[in-house]
Chain A
């Protein structure tokens, strides 16, 4: 084959429901595979929080993943190859459109890996079905439809219930089950709209069948293998992203397994797959192929981590023309990649939902993906892995053993999230395994395995055999302590005195049959000996499961820090359990503990590795919360001392410190009754912010504008059983500093928010540099605080600017969500700077160093409104976005425009804009200004004038292709906002942002915006190394 010199790799853009960090992982692996070959890599991905948009590729373009931008990058870069399989459906769709429009031909760009014709075949269900049936793989009876009438007719002939699947979609979006003709009529329009080609497939409903997935790998010579089999424990009808998934497949006989495996190979052949793909099957008395992803997917990322087989790396090599048996298995370092891993452990994946954050959203799980994150747990039996997994979710201590069994059965029937927890409540309450299996639709084998654990717990006592059994079935010390009515530390001491401790085993892809060089580890009580010897110098604690507020940005910090740490110490280890991430890539660092982030497990690892230093300030709040308990048990925690972290996190002590330092803060009070809160409001005036004390990331916060809403807010906050903090809400612009300190000086970046205070910083549009704000005063405040608290490591300090004055809102002594953005935009890698501080002691700068910027960088939040069916789209004090993107330009407006356009489904409005709720008095002026500015380009309809019905008609007919609204008013505009979300029409949900955007639309045309790599703006980021050459 011709030699490839330069490859364009397309990323997946912002994290949204169904497209998450798994594509950072697969893209990073692909870049690694390409760089090994000396190939120049150009990456287009606006997701600024990813690791792949760091220094891995030769050039990174933070641009929207859309044909018109990609074409301009191709024109500028002239790559000879392009890879479409590593950026999810977004990259695949963009690549297919480049191919269709002839752009690839025009510039002589060859698609590496699966060819566009084949991608097209796999994504178009009619063609897919035809190709499969030619190759003897059955598919469910179905019919392709592109109108409401056709759909109803097809369903009538197949017979209800039917499944409706959208062609060319994302994460099953728009797909649904129709149990009757009425349901079909109600939902089909939205499904057709969700398809980029306006069509859908009506097919036989296979609810209750088993769902089995195979990962397939094929080279250009036709060698094809299936390295992983994943069994969805949830039955068919539940999206695989919503299912509890187990690997290897547990309940299939050899005949069933081989039948499906062989079929998966035939599907890969029929599709002309080159690289990696995923094939899904339904298995009942017969079997059907359901679908195929001709690319790396969420499941393939999971399969890579579950088996140790580096699917993305191998896929990239195969795309370059390598043969399967030429590629070395990097886990053994000795065997080849043409084999299928054998697993001597059980892997369980559990999704995490954050549905309670979304008002109005549907609460049962089904054929559409709504989960935000996922965890993967490894054990030597199902219960051990399942209990680990439940703890990893951050929502359970393990399998719950108390609760109402009839309620649990009801929850199972309603397909409420987290069936394993409901199953164990039912089992513990005396319901039979058969009944639980029947209610949940889960194979009885899984239920019986959980029943074993329930039985062990019910008989638990302090005898060694009983304790050991409990540990083998995955019970934590805390669960045991609860049953035995002692403390967790007592349980730990007791079992250790009995010699009961976990062992650390390797994931080696071949069940110990060959020696292996991997240090991919997990802990288990299902074994007697360790596979490895201790030897880590530094243990970096990861961020765990993604949830609203915690996403790939924390993984960026963990990875960048771990890499930097390698320059100071020999052996760096990471603990994390999120299968989507780069930090859980076992060849990133010297040792990977794929483990829980609980105190118990960290102490296990610490005791095994001791002496080892632990880093908690990168993995977000979960890791940060472990600092104090670890430190108090004698663990050497690097960075700011735990007691000073406590000061920053304790409202009282922090407030006192601010007073001592002469820094302003909004007035506040801790209250225990509604009356006290009303007194406070009387004294300081409305609006008032209400939150439970010790609050994390805006959770359960609310803003009260009057006495009524204050009463309600305080009452609901008090119901959590904790005291409540009320504070005066100060209006004005919000700003923050991302920085790293060494106790005396700071390297930091000041960021301005477009949206005002009152909107969670994670949902705000951020701008660098922060012009027009009292920046010096903020820096001064930062210096005072870092000296007073002797901050050694990363911090984030938030301000509101009110009446010209700077008020401190809060200080977090850990890496912030915005750190990858501030690092990449400014050219100073703050995670590396943090490594310099902890390993060298000093940053080597004076006072507050902020790198000069000659360009603008804008970061925009990505919301997943359309995926979260029924949810009311609005912005407030709680965070609701799922991801972020950024862009840079010498002109502010151009940076804003590119950044906003990089958010899905945003596009330039061309016809008209509907103005929904206009907001409170203060916002109305801005909404009017925004509308006036837009009126020169678009038709403007005020909902207050045309009415709700008319506004919805405008959206349906396409006469309006954008909605702006501000504040919270579901009683006024729920239907309009929701319709926009369902139709993928851009929604702007804040007056300030609407105004800034309107001005940007007016000021710049898309042709004028810069198409330049990130390195041409922030040169420092790549070359900076460990900051040894920072100017004074």
Chain B
């Protein structure tokens, strides 16, 4: 519906062909500030129809923006039918091409077959910064492990007066300590979580050493894995800005932005000394945890939304408070 510039600039979609279910995309162009990264992240976009009109806040049309990054848009696809396929089969490999003959088509199919699978791609390397980026030196300072982090998360931290340093995804615990942080944030990113398992373990280690830690989306999964919990592929992934979560401490229900095809297994939390914080009432999958002893809390959904409802931005208030007090009040 709204928020396509945010989604298309979300590094979590790196290496992916994104299919949008809303049939009209491009309605208000692209405002090039306040994006989730510095440009188009998707490999391609499949939509039903591209639209265009000047909007007071837009700098470029969607087409112009994609042209700038040389990324193709495929139009006039029955994206609803395609969504139904994807919903049953999960993430699939895809290729976009133009063909006039059977031969062309076959060579396209062959190329697709030969392409590496999404799980094998090291996409993090493409989106993670090469070196530390100091965004604000205020104290307390949050070290953010950036494996393809959405800038919306960083903005939420800055908005609360926290210092922020973005670190490469491959950072070691020592690299983190070198920035003298007061807290740690492990956020979202593209690709197969298995390839980043070590970063989860590192986060746990840092939390043991006293860093207040927040995990978001991929970060939630990595930290859970690092603590010994398990993940699994869901029957139907959660992708959209309209997903409910229930805060099990208060019983309150919120509408959130979510983008995940894997979930942490609820039954495996006990062994990891994790407690359930949020669940999705639709399918009872886990949407957030906190640790019984360590200063760790995580959300599977995106409390920064961007795009999406801001109903759970209070998670960052809690985090800011935790950072200042040295512990989560959960």
Contacts and interface: CB of A to CB of B under 8 A. Distances in A.
B271 interface: no
Nearest 9 CB-CB pairs, A to B? Answer: A511-B21, A445-B53, A254-B3, A340-B242, A335-B282, A254-B307, A338-B244, A527-B78, A338-B253
Contacts of B281: 325, 336, 338
Interface residues of A, number: 56
Contacts of A339: 242-244, 255, 282
Interface in B208-254: 236, 239-244, 246, 251-253
A343 B23 CA distance: 9
B21 A528 contact: no
Interface in A503-526: 503, 505, 510-515, 526
A344 B80 contact: yes
Interface string B127-162: 000000000000000000000000000000000000
A345 B79 CA distance: 11
A510 B255 CA distance: 14
B98 to A, nearest CB: 16
A501 interface: no
B309 interface: yes
A338 B255 contact: yes
Contact of A512 (B51, B52, B87, B282): B87
Interface stretch (B26-34, B109-117, B177-185): B26-34
A343 B20 CA distance: 11
A448 B52 contact: yes
Nearest to A448: B53
A528 B242 CA distance: 26
B48 interface: yes
B252 to A, nearest CB: 6
A225 interface: yes
B28 A513 contact: no
A1004 interface: no
A252 B23 CA distance: 16
Given A252-B28, A527-B78, A345 B23 contact: yes
A342 interface: yes
B253 A323 contact: yes
B163 to A, nearest CB: 25
Given A344-B80, A381-B24, A257 B282 contact: no
A511 B80 contact: yes
Given A334-B282, A445-B27, A325 B48 contact: no
14 contacts: A222-B252, A225-B253, A257-B1, A258-B309, A261-B309, A338-B244, A338-B281, A342-B22, A344-B21, A346-B23, A381-B51, A445-B27, A511-B21, A512-B21
A338 to B, nearest CB: 4
Contacts of A261: 309
A963 to B, nearest CB: 51
A524 to B, nearest CB: 9
B71 interface: no
B252 A221 contact: yes
A265 interface: yes
A587 interface: no
Contact of B251 (A221, A251, A254, A448): A221
Instruction: Give chain A's interface secondary structure class.
Output: loop
A529 interface: yes
A249 interface: yes
Contacts of A226: 255, 309
A223 interface: yes
A335 B31 CA distance: 34
B2 A527 contact: no
Contact of A505 (B80, B252, B309, B311): B80
Contacts of B239: 513
Contacts of B282: 334-336, 339, 514
A372 interface: no
A334 B281 CA distance: 10
Contacts of A527: 78, 80-81
A254 B253 contact: no
A345 B51 CA distance: 14
B308 interface: yes
Interface in B11-64: 21-24, 27-28, 31, 34, 48-49, 51-55, 57
A734 B28 CA distance: 60
A252 B55 CA distance: 9
A249 B81 CA distance: 23
A249 B21 CA distance: 15
Contact of A528 (B1, B81, B252): B81
B310 interface: yes
Nearest to A382: B24
B306 interface: yes
Contacts, number: 155
B23 A381 contact: yes
Interface of A: 221-223, 225-226, 229, 248-258, 261-262, 265, 323-325, 334-336, 338-346, 380-382, 443-445, 448-449, 503, 505, 510-515, 526-529, 531
A510 B238 CA distance: 11
B84 interface: yes
A344 B252 contact: no
A513 B54 CA distance: 31
Given A445-B28, A512-B21, 13 more contacts: A249-B2, A254-B307, A258-B305, A258-B310, A325-B253, A338-B253, A340-B242, A342-B21, A346-B23, A380-B23, A513-B236, A527-B78, A528-B78
Between A254, A526, A527, the greatest number of chain B beta carbons within 10 A of the residue's beta carbon is seen for: A254
Contacts of A448: 51-53
Given A255-B34, A514-B87, A526 B23 contact: yes
A736 to B, nearest CB: 48
A1021 B16 CA distance: 61
Interface string B278-319: 000111000000000000000000000111111100000000
B10 interface: no
Nearest to B79: A344
B106 interface: no
A251 B253 contact: no
Contacts of B6: 254
Contacts of B307: 254, 258
A342 B241 contact: yes
Nearest to B23: A380
B107 interface: no
B25 to A, nearest CB: 11
Nearest to A248: B1
Contacts of B87: 512-515
A342 B49 contact: no
Contact of A336 (B5, B27, B244, B306): B244
Nearest to B305: A258
A342 B1 contact: yes
Nearest to A247: B1
Between A248, A253, A342, A503, the greatest number of chain B beta carbons within 10 A of the residue's beta carbon is seen for: A253
Contacts of A382: 24
Interface in B62-95: 78-81, 83-84, 87
A512 B84 contact: yes
Given A254-B307, A336-B282, A342-B241, A381 B49 contact: yes
A251 B87 CA distance: 28
A251 B252 contact: no
Contacts of A222: 252
A382 B5 CA distance: 21
Nearest to A219: B253
Nearest to A344: B21
A222 B251 CA distance: 10
Given A253-B55, A341-B242, A512 B311 contact: no
Contact of A511 (B2, B49, B83): B83
A344 B308 CA distance: 17
Between B2, B55, B241, the greatest number of chain A beta carbons within 10 A of the residue's beta carbon is seen for: B2
B136 to A, nearest CB: 22
B182 to A, nearest CB: 29
Nearest to A222: B252
A251 B244 contact: no
Contacts of B3: 254, 257
